[in-house]
Chain A
Amino acid sequence: MLDEHYLIQGPLRERWIQAQFSAFSKSWPESRPYPDVLSTEQEQSLHEVYASSHQNSGAIASFQGIIRSDLREGVSVLSIDYSAYEQLANRRFADIEAEVKKRTGLNRLRIWHSVGQVRCGECSMLVLASAAHRAELFEGLHMAVEQVKFSAPVWKCEHLSNGQHRWVEGQADPAAIKSAK
């Protein structure tokens, strides 16, 4: 069972992304088009986050991480299986949100990441950010995306068109990140 709001089973689908966007950038949508993946309590807590004052936000942007086919020597990526140390990942995502907001002056920042199978062309990561101006917005969004990619306990296994699979080699040493904090 996935707790918190950071990890979502399977791909972050279009409807879900639109719902997050709508709620993040404007008032709560009338239709409340929230997906089945969120419980009533989670919806409520999202609502509270989004309903807080954001009058000072003059800039909003998102980052969507999409699975590439990455064709090499006739072999392409069909899907990626994501796994996470869920307790540690939820804690880390919360820390990233707090740290990046503090360091760059973002007004709001929300992060979601898939676990389980996500196919080529689908979205596995969504980061939404708002700030008063574009300069801090882009800086904060960039920092948040980098932190998610390199400092969250998430792993991926690519399933290839030749029937084989391969673990993507991690580029970050967890302990180095810890000591750099």
Chain B
Amino acid sequence: MSVKVLFFGQLAELTGVSSLSLSTSDIPLTTHNSAGPEPADASPTLADLQASLVQSFPALKDQHYRMTLNLEFLPESAALQAGDEVALVPPYAGG
């Protein structure tokens, strides 16, 4: 099972993908508090995913966007589980 990541608006063009799947085990736990060793079963967070995406798509670094987790705007400390849907959502421009 993996996490589905969706890219919207100009972010899809910038990265060249509109969606991708990432296994949670492939997301490095880079942004966790380093007070001690990570527990073996620690879940990656939205911040970890973001760091991993910026590694893969450096152009994301200069972009303004927010992330949703299962259709909700959550803090970047939110933990990811297999089957989750994350979206990178740039500022809206409808109408």
Contacts and interface: CB of A to CB of B under 8 A. Distances in A.
Contacts of B89: 85, 88, 153, 174
Contacts of A88: 68, 71, 87, 89
B94 interface: yes
B30 interface: no
A148 B10 CA distance: 19
B84 to A, nearest CB: 14
Contact of A83 (B9, B64, B71, B87): B9
B93 A156 contact: yes
B92 A174 contact: yes
Interface stretch (A28-36, A53-61, A165-173): A165-173
A155 B95 contact: no
B87 to A, nearest CB: 6
A45 interface: no
A174 B73 contact: yes
Contacts of B13: 157, 167
A175 B88 CA distance: 12
Contact of B92 (A91, A145, A154, A167): A154
Instruction: Identify whether the interface residues of A are mostly helix, strand, loop, or mixed.
Output: mixed
Contacts, number: 82
Interface string B72-88: 01000000000000010
B95 A170 contact: no
Given A151-B92, A155-B92, A174-B89, A85 B6 contact: yes
Contacts of B6: 85
B36 interface: no
B91 A145 contact: no
A105 interface: no
Contacts of B12: 83
A6 to B, nearest CB: 11
A8 to B, nearest CB: 13
A58 B6 CA distance: 44
A167 B68 CA distance: 21
Contacts of B94: 82, 84, 113, 125, 148-150, 152-156
Interface of A: 65, 82-85, 87-88, 91, 113, 124-125, 145, 148-157, 167-175, 177-178
15 contacts: A83-B12, A88-B68, A113-B94, A151-B92, A153-B89, A153-B92, A154-B92, A154-B95, A155-B10, A155-B92, A156-B93, A156-B94, A168-B93, A173-B91, A175-B66
